[in-house]
A = this chain, B = another copy of it.
Amino acid sequence: MLRVIAEANYVPNGVARSMSHGKTSILGLVLPDITNPFFPGIARGVEDAAGSFGYRVILCNTDNDRDTEASYLRTLREQRVDGIILVGTSHFDEAEIRALVGDIPLVWCDRVPASGASCAVLTDHYQGARLAVGHLLELGHRDIAMIAGPPVSAALERQRAFLDVLHEAGMGVPEHRMVQGDFRYDSGWRAMNRILEDETVTAVFCANDMMAFGAINAIFQRGLRVPEQISVIGYDNILFAEWSRPALTTVAQPIYLLGVQAVELLMDAMEGTISPPVRRLLEPTLVIRNSTARVNA
């Protein structure tokens, strides 16, 4: 089952197909932090799609904390939710999750667990990062740095693509040009200040938009300009990417659709019409705006 749903207002129809006995008609949505601008779009997709199937959604913010996540998963089991969607990073693999939630159907979103017979919906992070780095190469950049993310699959895939594309182009990456951040604005700002010590760098690929905003402000605070002197490209295409000045070139994830498809996959898992593992991979797209330009433009 793969329904295509327009990324628009998706009004719950109120007709519950699972209001039958023994069901709570409630799903659990576990994510790191709803105040991180990447997650509200997913939460909307989840809630809208869940509503169309007659389900309500309990929101659980874990702050990427292991104990908080475990506590929430136990509580969702006590609440007898009918299914769980686990978004972003998780401290647990499939077996550990099962110990916490029993046989409650579960779908991973934006992440694949290291092992286990799981269902997952995510964007092709490797392909998306290839698009980003390829764009910088096409603009003539050769001295490219990366602000990488934390050690989670989504970030590691982007890092792997960065290294692969540059190696394929016959270029190595000096160690000091790969600086790790934690997906937050401040870490992007700090990482960029370290990268700026190498005055030959002309472009930076940031593993998410939040760090890209931090990097751009660090560059301007040094008296340099984006994109005239340094090109910056992000990843995610959150709301402010379009509105920031310069408007941010980035790789768009179909954020809302991730949430919608996670629910659809969960419904299939709850009905037993699919046999895990099932992986659904969504396509990223390059969005060229004003934060990247030809080298020496």
A134 contacts partner chain B, Cβ-Cβ < 8 Å: no
| Distance of A14 from chain B, by nearest CB (Å) | 5
Which chain B residue lies CB-closest to A44? Answer: B35
Given contacts A44-B61, A220-B245, contact A71 B37 (CB under 8 A): no
Q: How far is the CA of A240 from the CA of B76 in the complex (A)?
A: 33
With an 8 A cutoff between CB atoms, is A68 at the interface? Answer: yes
Find out whether the CB atom of A79 lies under 8 angstroms from the CB atom of B58: no
| Interface presence of A217 (CB below 8 A) | yes
List of B residues within 8 angstroms of A243 by Cβ: 185, 213-214, 217
Distance from A187 Cβ to chain B, minimum over Cβ atoms (Å): 13
Measured CB to CB, the closest approach of chain B to A168, in angstroms, equals: 34
Q: Is A12 an interface residue (CB 8 A)?
A: yes
A41, closest chain B residue (CB) = B35
With A26-B79, A79-B56: A68-B12 Cβ-Cβ less than 8 Å: yes
Residue of B nearest to A67 (CB): B11
Residue numbers in B under 8 Å from A185 (CB-CB) = 243
Contacts of A79 in B (CB 8 A): 25-26, 56
What's the Cα separation between A217 and B247 when bound, in Å? Answer: 10
Nearest B-chain residue to A19, judged by Cβ: B78
Q: How many copies does the complex hold?
A: 2
CA distance A213 to B41 in the complex (A): 20
Q: Is the CB of A56 within 8 A of B43?
A: no
State whether B61 touches A58 (Cβ < 8 A): no
Q: Which B residues touch A67, using CB under 8 A?
A: 11
Interface string of A17-50 (1 = CB under 8 A from B): 0000000011001000111010111011001100
Q: How far is the CA of A59 from the CA of B41 in the complex (A)?
A: 13
Q: A217–B71 Cα gap in the complex (Å)?
A: 44
Residues of B within 8 A of A33 (CB): 44
Q: Are B35 and A239 in contact (CB-based, < 8 A)?
A: yes
A76 to B56, CA, bound (A): 9
Q: Report which of B9, B25, B71, B240 forms a contact with A240, defined as CB distance below 8 A.
A: B240
The 0/1 profile, CB within 8 Å of B marked 1, for residues 49-74 of chain A is 00000001111110101011001000
Q: CB within 8 Å of B: which of A194-239?
A: 213-214, 216-217, 220, 239
Contacts of A59 in B (CB 8 A): 29, 43, 47, 57-59
CB-CB nearest in chain B for A39 = B40
Instruction: Answer yes or no: A296 CB below 8 A from chain B CBs.
Output: no
Contact of A40 among B11, B40, B47, B60 (CB under 8 A): B40
The 7 closest A-B pairs by CB, nearest first: A35-B40, A59-B59, A34-B40, A56-B58, A240-B240, A213-B243, A14-B71
